[in-house]
Chains A and B, each alone.
Chain A
């Protein structure tokens, strides 16, 4: 009988009332020290952080939510929860469980969420998980699990979310994962897995998210990802891959791919032929020297491309990555930017080319980039900067280009807000050296220019240094939008001119 069918609920409910009334004295509705809240006729019971060493007695049969986390429970007894027919969420995380008896969870037909993370389990308690037909989320992360019996998840037909990260797995539990038709998200991160065999996830046809970061994966089979028809996110960051994982070509719905911090060296031609929906790709610190020429022809949906901290010398044309919004190329070995490199990338907002060896940028390089607002060319070898296409910039970083001594006129960057230049005198190009623009290090309230009606101090971090910030709302943008509406745009320009860094160019 389907545990959620009305008939079953009615029978269980009347059964529960019978149990409650059959006991000599009516069981206390709330165990001592615990905190109970009624939710309709159901009960939420919080017994967390009470230094309990066992499951308390006196739990009401109408308990739907039970939190026993962060206690000292080292052992569960068979049937501890047998009378809790309506239990939907059971939290046992942060205890001292090293094993779980087979009957511990019997009778929990309505259980949807089971949290066992942060315990000391050394293997999957397969017997205990045998009959939980409605379980959707199972947390087993942060244990000591090195053994996953083949039948571990047999009794979990509704399982959608599985956490096995931060354990001691040395291989993919292929057989155990063979019968999870409803699984949508799984993490095997932070283990010691070194290889992904062919057909490792063959029956996980509903899997959307797969995290494998922080393992020791050196090799994959060509067919490792066969069967993952629904996969959208694959995270192979912080592994030991020495070859590009061609197995990804079977992932037709892949949208986000990360294998930063590996040692791949080169991306083969046609590497992404099977991934037309790929939107976000993170290849930071992947040892990459060469990018395939036609890479973008296979990536029409790409929005964010992170290639920083590699050894790339030459850039292909990104022309066919028509939806590209952000590209991170900082800390590579790039020496020139051609006319074709970023041609017609009309959605491109941010280019980070800091810490390369760029000596020349073609005069047409930025002309078609109508959405470009952020350009970072810190620490290169520029002598001149072509201004065509840069009128929309709000952030420009040029520090560390000692040969770039030209001054910029205010008209070149009408929307500029944050400017970093090699020499202080280049900050003076925007009018009088004194009060017009406020430099962050010398601002104080009296000195704020009259137009500034709000007197609000602004110190903007220029570029989000950490790769994650590329996906969240950028704090700078948020502050910019807020500032636009209130303040007359002040330009924050560094290095700030001063007594020892005069406006006049001494060497003219």
Chain B
């Protein structure tokens, strides 16, 4: 059954339905499809879950996936924090640091070599 804001919709929703959760969001919030068991439920968030980034446009704000090796990204191609086992350098997740850089296993980043 389709409801709008006046009826009881979860926080951030503009419209929702009993089965699908949020169908559209209040202005400037991000729409995200969250997996719950076998279902996908619409939710409206101010920041997207790990592994996703909020993409804003005139028509719609939605969470989109980062790359598979990225935990938090600025856009689809620029990572801010890599998943375990990867080193971060200039927005990219690398399995190993290039020769001219030094791996920092505390921050999991590739740093300039200080001579």
Contacts and interface: CB of A to CB of B under 8 A. Distances in A.
A59 interface: no
B12 A70 contact: yes
B75 interface: yes
Interface of A: 49, 69-70, 91, 93-94, 115, 117-118, 136-137, 139, 141-142, 160-161, 165-166, 184-185, 187, 189-190, 208-209, 211, 213-214, 230, 232-233, 238, 256, 471
A132 B112 CA distance: 23
Chain B interface size range = 10 to 19
Contact of A91 (B29, B47, B78): B47
A50 to B, nearest CB: 10
B71 to A, nearest CB: 12
A interface: dominant SS: loop
A361 B56 CA distance: 41
Nearest to A141: B56
B47 A117 contact: yes
Nearest to B106: A4
A49 B45 CA distance: 10
A214 B58 contact: yes
A185 B74 contact: yes
Given A118-B29, A142-B28, A208-B91, A69 B75 contact: no
Contacts of B28: 118, 142, 166
B56 A209 contact: no
A392 B91 CA distance: 36
A65 to B, nearest CB: 12
A161 B58 contact: no
24 contacts: A70-B12, A70-B46, A91-B47, A94-B29, A118-B29, A118-B46, A137-B80, A142-B56, A160-B80, A161-B80, A166-B28, A184-B78, A184-B91, A185-B80, A185-B91, A189-B56, A190-B56, A190-B57, A190-B58, A213-B57, A214-B57, A233-B77, A233-B78, A238-B58
A233 B29 CA distance: 25
A459 B90 CA distance: 41
